[in-house]
A and B are shown apart, each in its own frame.
Chain A
């Protein structure tokens, strides 16, 4: 399994600002996914971020709100733009066909 790290591990942000979350993998992976886990809830897929193509967003998620970069096979970023308290969640990246997860980024928006 891959070793996945995320930065920051947590943050508290003001509404209207943006936060960029980084996901770093210790090996090259083609498939990378971004999820959101709202308090007490299960995981919801935001988008698929495969290297070499534009990210594919799930219903209810748009690029303007959650822009994603995937510059190479070991790294990706997810930006949460123009944040509101409803964006308070844990944001997780996962990699590979079997989807191994990073530790998550806990975001609180005031």
Chain B
């Protein structure tokens, strides 16, 4: 069973601060995805990373996939209240595209 450990579990920061969320596993993933989920809604896909060492940027969000494809990080620069939500990482193995989800990081950005 592949396990994804996310940290921190909860994060409350002030608007304008930077933050990093981590996703770690002992398993190798063929791809890793980050989602953001707001209350009452389904998760929204932010990014998919597939290559070890890959870095992707989405406006103020920077995603990195570890060289060994076992871990990933999400860095948010100058956080805004609109960034508030549950951030989930999910890894896929093999060809069946099944995802294993981390427990999530609940981010609150206070104005």
Tell which of A11-19, A39-47, A65-73, A81-89 binds the partner.
Answer: A39-47
Which of A44, A98, A100, A104: most chain B Cβ within 10 A? A98
Q: Cβ of B41 and Cβ of A31 under 8 Å apart?
A: no
8 additional A-B pairs beyond A45-B100, A104-B42, beta carbons within 8 Å, are A42-B104, A43-B88, A43-B99, A48-B96, A98-B45, A101-B42, A101-B45, A103-B40
**Can you list 16 contacts pairing A with B, beta carbon distance less than 8 Å?**
A42-B88, A42-B102, A43-B90, A43-B99, A43-B101, A45-B98, A48-B96, A98-B48, A99-B33, A99-B45, A101-B35, A101-B44, A102-B42, A103-B41, A104-B41, A106-B40
Binding site for A on B (CB under 8 A): 33, 35, 40-45, 48, 88, 90, 96-104
